[in-house]
Amino acid sequence: MNSQVNRRFFSAVATGAMLGLSKPVAAVSMVNPTLDIHVHLFGVGDSGSDCHVAEKVSRGFLFRHLKTMLKLNDATNGTVDQQYERTMVRQVAESELSMAAVLAQDAVYGANGKIDLTATSFYVPNDYLFEVVGRHPKQLIACPSINPNRADAIDELERCHDRKARMLKIHPPTQNVDLMDPKHTKFFFRCRELDMTILVHTGHEHSAPIFSHELAAPRKLRAALDEGCRVVACHAGSGWFSDSPSYLGKFLQLLDKFPELWGDTSVLGTAFRAQDFGLLLDSGKDVLDRLLHGSDFPFPASPVVFADRIGQDTALKTAELQNLIQRDFALKKHLGIGEASALRSHRVVIA
């Protein structure tokens, strides 16, 4: 590495690799469509969207950093909700991927099955999700979020299915959901009847306050898998190198037992997940064939952390992509799993 490359390399690591200009990318293929299965819809509710962000989250470093990074602070460009939607859709449209599954985020529900916004760190309602996806049907498909603790969980599931949703998301550690609670059996049974793919956050969570990391243990997926559901373990049960316990091994064990279990690669391109991502990448073809491409936009990938696998020049060039959806996809293509896992994402969930 010459000294100039050296400086750029370490500067990119230090700044989270968010330098450079966006690049034109290859034409999108609709013959063999590819899907990013994990793109977040966010909002603060300033457009009448009913989105909600708890004060402890909106005051936090991560939230303020993401707002600045995505340039959502210019009130002359519309509301924060509108600016986020525009940025997200533009990045999907300008990426090589055919489309993205966009995720809502349900709230916390009390023992009475009623919504509890005071206990909710962030909330993106399904109605708002369908509105946004309806405005961009070529680029986006809807992944509503349904907390099975809600009294009307099955009604909401059927309503989302009627609105053409093919998948739903549950985030147990932030939504305070114990998937193994027997009261959820009927919900999972109905998911299987409707052929709805269930995305579940698994592994350690670092972007939002949680009730318990145990709620994100892959073993909890048994409740849905035993009902015959197709389940996507978001983040494949991964954690930071400093997290304990490690949940990756259990995820890999479950893959062996349940052919309808998949793992998504969302957030795996970030610095602190590199160790677990490396273990997955080295786990052999049987495991790689079960991974579905996902970015976890707006959380940015850090290609420079993977320089030992993809080479320093490639890592630096990839880090220079400002389009976060494309940067994540490009990194995973260089790691040898991008294209196949993105085709698989579409085939498993949509086709």
CB 344 within 8 A of CB 292: yes
Q: Is the Cβ of residue 37 or residue 281 nearer to Zn ion in the bound state? A: 37
Listing DSSP states for 216-272 in one string gives: G-GGGGHHHHTTT--EEEEGGG---TT-SS--HHHHHHHHHH-TTEEEE-TTTTSGG
Task: Report, in Å, the least distance between residue 312 CB and Zn ion.
Answer: 29
- Residue 94 or 296: the one with the smaller Cβ distance to Zn ion is 296
Chain-centre distance of CA 348, in angstroms?
A: 16
Comparing CB distances to Zn ion, the nearer of 58 and 185 is 58
- Considering beta carbons, is residue 47 or 105 the nearer one to Zn ion? 105
Q: How far is the CB of 83 from Zn ion (least distance, A)?
A: 20
Number of Cβ within 10 Å of residue 180's Cβ equals 16
Distance CA(85)–CA(87), nearest Å, equals: 6
* Identity of the residue, 276 or 296, whose beta carbon is nearer to Zn ion in the bound complex: 296
> Nearest distance from residue 38's CB to Zn ion, in Å?
6
Name the segment binding Zn ion (CB under 5 A); options: 140-148, 217-225, 272-280, 291-299.
291-299
Spatial strand order in the sheet of 35-40? 35-40, 99-103, 140-143
The set of residues, in sequence order, having a beta carbon less than 8 Å from that of 160 and lying 6+ positions away, is: 126, 142, 144, 146, 168, 196
Interface with Zn ion by CB under 5 A: which range of 12-20, 90-98, 288-296, 315-323? Answer: 288-296
Minimum separation from the CB atom of position 103 to Zn ion (A)? 7
Query: Which of 81, 96, 227, 296 is close enough to bind Zn ion by CB under 5 A?
Result: 296
Using the contact rule CB under 5 A, the part of the chain among 10-18, 51-59, 173-181, 295-303 near Zn ion is: 295-303
Q: Which residue lies nearest Zn ion, judged by its C-beta?
A: 296
Residues that contact Zn ion, how many (by CB under 5 A):
1
CB of 274 to Zn ion, least distance (A): 17
Please write down the HEC assignment for all residues of 320-344: CCCCHHHHHHHHHHHCCCHHHHHHH
DSSP state of 139: T
Smallest gap from residue 128 Cβ to Zn ion (A): 17
Tell me how far, at minimum, the Cβ of 24 lies from Zn ion, in Å: 27
36 near Zn ion, rule: CB under 5 A: no
Radius of gyration, CA atoms only, the chain:
19
Three-class SS state of 16: coil
The single-letter code of the amino acid at 174 is: T
> Judged by CB, which is closer to Zn ion: 85, or 296?
296
Interface positions with Zn ion (CB under 5 A)? 296
